[in-house]
């Protein structure tokens, strides 16, 4: 197993300091943010996303996440700004579009591997599907502990090693942090455990844990298609890279600075914050993504 990227919201404020200088300007001229292309394979074209639901998820929680994935390449498109227009930035990376579609789903509500998962468990769950062209996504419930969860990561993406001539397969893991560490992995829908204590935003789907999962899932899916095997687009060391979205950590709208996610849209009746419309009337708050055409973190609003 190779691990490409672990996304930790505990460092959101530190990362946002860098992004602040790059996106808002600073007293000293900054070098452009550049994610170097390392000439490796990217995931392009139509890609199936298989889902493993490990632990307790309600039907509504599952529908929020499924609708998000379907929104990435929805047709007809949702009203602007949309999840699909956010995802379209990945087309600016070499190779063109990546159209993600939900494939098979497996539910594990009875914890067959227990309530504490190690990396080998995640790999085992990701290997459930015999689909080498898919991205296999493991989603863990709010009562499931995962090695490194909350302490060093909120989600990760990686790949299996090639065996007997078979191609590597990409996989993703994201956990629900509502109970264990919302201040680390569900910001800005919960006050952070570090840094400025600004009021949290109202989650667009009314679920702090799942709306936080959407932010992390968006981050690792973008990293998966643009740097699936440690030799795509990234900045820094391959073992701890800044990728398409992690390079823009903490930025959700224009004017973002440490502790402030930026100007976003607000729903009049509920006060919920969002910056992207999805299918079935869903709304989501998505992080900024680095755009190779401008060498800058791109926001929707």
Tens digit of each residue's pLDDT (9 = 90 or more) over 202-222: 999 999 999 999 999 999 999
Per-residue model confidence (pLDDT) at position 4 = 44
Token pair recorded at residue 142: 């709010």
* Distance in angstroms (rounded) separating the CA atoms of residues 258 and 275: 19
* Distance in angstroms (rounded) separating the CA atoms of residues 62 and 177: 15
Per-residue model confidence (pLDDT) at position 209 = 98
3-state helix, strand, coil in the chain (%, to 5): 25, 25, 50
Region of residue 139 (left: phi > 0; alpha: psi -120 to 50; beta: else): beta
For residue range 116-173, list pLDDT tens digits in order: 999 999 999 999 887 878 999 999 999 999 999 999 999 999 998 766 656 688 999 9
Q: How far is CA 60 from CA 159, 205, 288, in A?
A: 29, 10, 26
C-alpha dihedral (175, 179, 182, 184), degrees to nearest 10: -70
Mean pLDDT by groups of 10 residues along the chain of 301 residues:
47 41 44 89 95 98 98 84 96 94 97 97 91 92 97 93 72 97 97 87 98 98 97 94 96 94 97 97 98 96 90
Angle at 209 between CA 208 and CA 210, to 5 degrees: 100
Enter the pTM of the model: 0.91
* Distance in angstroms (rounded) separating the CA atoms of residues 139 and 212: 12
* Distance in angstroms (rounded) separating the CA atoms of residues 158 and 174: 12
Task: Give the DSSP H/E element, type plus range, for residue 196.
Answer: none
Which residues have C-beta within 8 Å of that of residue 20, sequence separation ≥ 6? Answer: 26, 256, 257, 258
| Token pair 């074209």: residue | 45
Token pair recorded at residue 236: 């820094």
Per-residue model confidence (pLDDT) at position 163 = 60
Length of the chain: 301
The DSSP letter of residue 204 is T
Per-residue model confidence (pLDDT) at position 13 = 40
């Amino acid at each position: 197993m190779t691990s490409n990227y672990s996304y930790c919201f505990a460092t959101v404020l530190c990362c946002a300091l860098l992004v602040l200088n790059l996106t808002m300007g600073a007293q000293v001229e900054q070098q452009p943010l550049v994610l170097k292309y390392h000439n490796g394979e990217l995931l392009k074209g139509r890609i199936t996303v298989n889902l493993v639901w490990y632990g307790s998820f309600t039907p509504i929680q599952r529908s929020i996440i499924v609708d998000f994935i379907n929104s990435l390449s929805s047709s007809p498109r949702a009203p602007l700004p949309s999840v699909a227009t956010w995802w379209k930035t990945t087309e600016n990376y070499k190779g063109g579009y990546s159209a993600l579609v939900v494939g098979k789903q497996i539910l594990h509500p009875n914890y067959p591997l227990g309530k504490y998962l190690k990396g080998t468990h995640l790999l085992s769950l990701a290997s459930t599907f015999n689909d080498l062209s898919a991205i296999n996504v493991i989603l863990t419930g709010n009562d499931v502990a995962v090695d490194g969860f909350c302490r060093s990561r909120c989600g990760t993406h990686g790949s299996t090693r090639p065996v007997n001539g078979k191609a590597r397969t990409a996989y993703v893991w994201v956990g629900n942090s509502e109970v264990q560490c919302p201040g680390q992995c569900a910001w800005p829908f919960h006050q952070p455990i570090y840094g400025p204590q600004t009021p949290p935003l109202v989650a667009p789907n009314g679920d702090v844990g799942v709306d936080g999962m959407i932010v992390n899932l968006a981050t690792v899916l973008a990293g998966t298609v643009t740097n699936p095997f440690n030799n795509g687009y990234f900045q820094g060391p391959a073992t701890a890279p800044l990728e398409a979205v992690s390079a823009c950590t903490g930025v959700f709208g224009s004017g973002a600075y440490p502790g402030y996610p930026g100007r976003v849209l607000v729903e009049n009746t509920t006060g919920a914050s969002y910056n992207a419309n999805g299918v079935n009337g869903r709304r989501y708050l998505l992080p900024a993504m680095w755009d190779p055409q401008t060498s800058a973190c791109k926001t929707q609003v």
